[in-house]
């Protein structure tokens, strides 16, 4: 029997919280360097064509201007990659493409000079209207069973089309970098979700050894996938620093954020569901098309979402790309899954009404006990408990089935539900632990923290497995001088780095035990490794905690200043025998003003099963953040494009709408903990994406229940309800 956790599962405030609220935390453009220069990006005004001429003569004569980089004098990189690189040639492939970088003594000088750069283009006709773009089929999972034949034969059918517009990440911190060279060694502070990816990119760009590039990203003011790929600005920032021989800072403006790092792609979907009159699913055909750029193919798992969700013997999930003259999309929180869930979970709700079966009951009728795609068992799955517990908290039993049957004065009331799921991923990760003889610990790993609380949860895990109080532990991250770890994305960081800390702690215990084994009088003399534990500052016997030695005394008696371990963890081979997923059930109440079509999300209950919860305090914040994001996706967010010019128009936070405090009401989160030692030794699954996945669909379903109008094209705005 394992002992009760001392730190894991207990609420703990963020260890980096004080630094963030007092301004001590440094972000990419805030690092102090000697005599910095500033770069300002000049962008193209057309979406497709070539640069006929570019005149920088007026700009470069201005006071303070040091250099202006264009495709004519930029370093050319020979790399076999289709990913966009700035200033490589005269070709224009999207509106807002960087075509010059003005470097000056001050930001204001650089910005003013940028306005004087004159460009003439040979314009070509751009294509950004998705309804008129040709489709190219790309990768998709093989069909399961005979979905087309079974759909035709099914007595009950649903066919519906859904769409989601382009949506943009809008983190509080704009993308930025600060770079400087010391000889042939480059140091760059970057807003990044993966410092090792940036290091490799820059090393290849400049033809230098990776060890000569140090990438640092200690704090990130939100990213949500916008910094998973290496963006174009680190290269031109480092190049600028090399050219002018001094540190250079480059910072996106808010408008540049809309063309500088990708976005959630436009997504068009068609769902065909065949079922029996008993509600059992017989066939699902889930088809999706997303846009990409003309120069790079970006795909995401939009149609894979539902393949493991329901017990359905016949399933097909074709996927298509739409080539457009826009920048390449990228991953945005819950990529693919939240888009796919909007279509599938809306269609399931439509089927429930056609069958006159409660939407929760219909989901339970088709509950998958095993992975219907592979036949493998789930390592753990408490989705059924999520639905029953969430429904009880929400009061679902009081729901009337008929649309427009519930109201509050002039407000129509609607209740909707949906399912969320996300893979329980783990990647190889490295960690270094140094345990000092004064009882303090330094833990280091080259992962990043984009906001979910990685500094805190890894501190908690280290405290638990090393048996040392959290206040004595310092966790360092975001630096390529630290052991290699995965990028923060896919909700895998805690599972990956946490597993490395767990393994490293075992190696620390082995070393400590080797010191005391040599002492005949030791209470641990002859003890086997598996009989010991680190707890309460002691190395002691598991079955008799009174027999042990203080960790600091072990080191002092061994005349050791510290014990240090480097450890690399990898996912267990046993995982291959199972499907590893996290699950959740969402319940939403909306109120719709009958005369004006205004929609308010007034109540949300989200029940989530995602393994062991390390820190309930920050975990609840993650869940609430996912709900708020879902409100934005369902009701507010859309990037508008003027197809005449291939230009994104809503490139500011006045025109691109996101939820504000007035849009957020009651949110309750409930965790259904799972004991899952197959996913990893600590039983950790990710939650950062999962908490968003079903929310837009649940809101859309609630709006239908309130109004009787099925909105299949997001966002749900008043004009669509009037």
- Cα–Cα distance for residue pair 400/406, rounded to 1 Å: 7
Neighbours of 601 (CB within 10 A): 26
* The two structure tokens encoding residue 331: 């991953």
Are the C-beta atoms of residues 429 and 421 closer than 8 Å to each other? no
Per-residue three-class SS string for 170-211: CCCCCCEEEEEEECCEEEEEECCCCHHHHHHHHHHHHCCCHH
- Give SS3 for 442: strand
H helix or E strand, kind and range, residue 88: none
**Alpha helices of 636-694 — where are they, by DSSP H?**
690-693
Neighbours of 5 (CB within 10 A): 13
* The two structure tokens encoding residue 685: 């699954």
Are the C-beta atoms of residues 324 and 94 closer than 8 Å to each other? no
Q: From the candidates 287, 350, 623, 689, which is the catalytic residue?
A: 689
Distances (CA, A) of 185 to 149, 292, 485: 63, 36, 22
Neighbours of 417 (CB within 10 A): 30
Scan for tokens 């935390």, then name that residue.
Answer: 25
Strands (E), 175-318: 176-182, 185-190, 213-216, 248-251, 267-275, 281-293, 315-316
* The two structure tokens encoding residue 171: 């983190």
Residues β-bridged to residue 268: 163, 289
H helix or E strand, kind and range, residue 125: none
Residue 350 is a catalytic residue: no
CA nearest 264: which of 286, 303, 292, 287? 292
- Cα–Cα distance for residue pair 352/346, rounded to 1 Å: 10
Are the C-beta atoms of residues 80 and 149 closer than 8 Å to each other? no
Q: What are phi and psi of 212, to 5 degrees?
A: -90, 5
Q: What are phi and psi of 302, to 5 degrees?
A: -60, -45
Q: Give the side-chain half-sphere CA count within 13 A for 278.
A: 4
Which residues form the catalytic set? 689
């Amino acid at each position: 029997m394992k002992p009760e956790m001392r730190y894991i599962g207990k609420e703990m405030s963020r260890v980096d919280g004080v630094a963030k609220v007092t301004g001590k935390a440094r972000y990419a453009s805030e690092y102090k360097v000697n005599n910095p220069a500033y770069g300002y990006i000049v962008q193209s005004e057309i979406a497709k064509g070539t640069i006929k001429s570019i005149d920088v003569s007026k700009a470069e004569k201005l006071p303070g201007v040091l250099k202006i980089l264009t495709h004519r004098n930029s370093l050319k990189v020979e790399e076999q990659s289709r990913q966009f690189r700035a200033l490589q040639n005269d070709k224009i492939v999207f509106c807002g493409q960087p075509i010059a970088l003005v470097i000056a003594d001050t930001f204001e000088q650089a910005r003013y000079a940028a306005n004087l750069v004159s460009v003439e283009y040979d314009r070509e006709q751009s294509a950004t209207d998705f309804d008129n773009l040709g489709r190219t089929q790309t990768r998709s999972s093989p069909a399961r069973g005979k979905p087309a034949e079974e759909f035709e034969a099914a007595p009950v059918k649903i066919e519906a089309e859904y769409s989601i517009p382009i949506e943009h990440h809008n983190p509080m911190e704009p993308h930025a970098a600060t770079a400087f060279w010391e000889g042939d060694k480059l140091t760059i502070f970057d807003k990044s979700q993966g410092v090792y990816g940036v290091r490799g990119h820059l090393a290849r760009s400049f033809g230098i050894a990776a060890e000569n590039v140090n990438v640092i990203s200690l704090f990130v003011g939100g990213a949500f996938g916008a910094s998973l790929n290496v963006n174009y600005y680190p290269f031109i920032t480092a190049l600028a620093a090399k050219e002018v021989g001094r540190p250079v800072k480059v910072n996106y403006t808010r408008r540049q954020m809309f063309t500088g790092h990708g976005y959630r792609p436009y997504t068009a979907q068609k769902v065909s569901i065949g079922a029996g009159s008993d509600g059992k699913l017989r066939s699902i055909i889930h088809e999706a098309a997303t846009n990409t750029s003309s120069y790079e193919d970006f795909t995401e798992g939009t149609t894979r979402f539902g393949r493991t969700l329901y017990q359905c013997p016949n399933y097909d999930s074709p996927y298509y790309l739409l080539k457009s003259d826009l920048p390449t999309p990228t991953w945005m929180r819950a990529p693919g899954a939240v888009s796919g869930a909007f279509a599938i979970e809306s269609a399931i709700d439509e089927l429930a009404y056609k069958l006159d079966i409660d939407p929760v009951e219909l989901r339970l009728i088709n509950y998958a006990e095993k992975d219907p795609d592979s036949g493998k068992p789930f390592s753990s799955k408490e989705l059924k408990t999520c639905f029953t517990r969430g429904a009880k908290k929400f009061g679902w039993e009081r729901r009337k089935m008929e649309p427009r049957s519930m109201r509050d004065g002039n407000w129509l009331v609607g209740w909707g539900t949906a399912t969320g799921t996300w893979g329980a991923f783990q990647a190889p990760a490295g960690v270094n632990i140094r345990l000092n003889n004064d009882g303090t610990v330094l833990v280091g790993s080259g992962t990043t923290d984009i906001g979910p609380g990685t500094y805190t949860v890894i501190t908690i895990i280290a405290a638990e497995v090393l048996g040392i109080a959290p206040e004595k532990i310092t966790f360092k991250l975001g630096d390529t001088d630290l052991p290699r770890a995965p990028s923060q994305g896919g909700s895998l960081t805690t599972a990956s780095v946490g597993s490395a800390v767990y393994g490293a702690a075992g190696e620390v215990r082995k070393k400590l035990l080797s010191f005391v084994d040599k002492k005949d009088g030791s209470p641990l003399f002859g003890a086997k490794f598996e009989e010991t534990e680190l707890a309460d500052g002691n190395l002691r016997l598991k079955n008799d905690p009174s027999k042990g030695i203080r960790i600091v005394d072990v080191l002092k008696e061994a005349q050791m200043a510290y014990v240090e371990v480097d450890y690399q963890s990898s996912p267990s081979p046993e995982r291959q025998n199972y499907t590893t997923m996290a699950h959740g059930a969402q319940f939403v109440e909306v109120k719709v003003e009958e005369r004006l079509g205004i929609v308010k999300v007034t109540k949300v209950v989200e029940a989530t099963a995602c393994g062991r919860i390390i820190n309930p305090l920050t975990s609840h914040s993650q869940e609430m953040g996912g709900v708020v994001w879902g409100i934005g996706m369902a009701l507010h967010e859309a990037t508008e494009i003027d197809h005449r010019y291939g230009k994104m128009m809503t490139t500011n936070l006045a025109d691109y709408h996101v939820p504000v405090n007035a849009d957020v009401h009651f949110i309750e989160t409930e965790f259904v903990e799972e004991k899952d030692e197959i996913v990893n030794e600590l039983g950790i699954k990710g939650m950062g994406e999962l908490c968003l996945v079903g929310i837009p669909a649940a809101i859309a379903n609630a709006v239908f229940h309130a109004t009787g109008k099925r909105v299949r094209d997001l966002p749900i705005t008043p004009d669509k309800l009037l």
